[in-house]
C-alpha cells in the first residue's frame, strides 16, 4: 500500500464520483438516444479510472491494467449493439427521441 494512498484515494475518489454523477445526469435527463449512450460512456470512463487508481494504490497495477483492457473491449461490444438498436429505432420512427421508447407500460 503506497504511503500517500489515502490522499490519492480521496482525491481521485471524488473525481470518480463526480464523473459518475455527470454520467448518470446525462443518462437520466437526455432526450436524445445518442446523448444517453454518451452518458453511458462517461460512466465507463469513471469506473475505469477507479480501477486504475485502486490498482495503483494497492500495487496490483498489472492486474488493474488487464481488467481495464477487458472492460474497454466489453464496452465497445455493448456500444456497438446499442448503436445498432438506436439505428433500428431511427429506421422505425425517423427520430432518435427517448420519448418514442416509452410505450411499453402498465
Report CA Rg, the chain: 18
Residues within window 3-42 making contact with other proteins, judged by CB under 8 A = 4-15, 17-29, 32-42
Tell me if 97 contacts other proteins by CB under 8 A.
Answer: no
Rounded to whole angstroms, what are the CA distances from 73 to 13, 38, 97?
Answer: 24, 16, 27
CB within 8 A of 99, min separation 6: which ones?
A: 31
CB of 103 to other proteins, least distance (A): 6
Residues in 50-79 at the binding interface with other proteins, rule: CB under 8 A: 50-79
Cβ at position 60, least distance to other proteins in Å: 5
Amino acid at each position: 500500500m503506497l504511503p500517500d494512498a489515502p490522499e490519492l484515494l480521496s482525491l481521485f475518489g471524488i473525481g470518480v464520483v463526480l464523473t459518475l454523477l455527470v454520467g448518470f445526469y446525462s443518462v437520466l435527463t437526455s432526450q436524445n438516444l445518442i446523448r444517453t449512450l454518451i452518458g453511458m460512456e462517461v460512466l465507463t470512463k469513471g469506473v475505469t479510472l477507479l480501477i486504475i487508481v485502486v490498482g495503483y494504490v494497492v500495487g496490483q497495477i498489472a492486474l488493474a491494467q488487464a481488467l481495464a483492457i477487458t472492460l474497454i473491449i466489453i464496452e465497445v461490444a455493448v456500444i456497438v449493439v446499442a448503436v445498432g438498436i438506436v439505428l433500428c429505432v431511427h429506421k422505425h420512427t425517423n427520430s432518435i427521441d427517448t420519448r418514442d421508447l416509452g410505450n411499453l407500460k402498465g
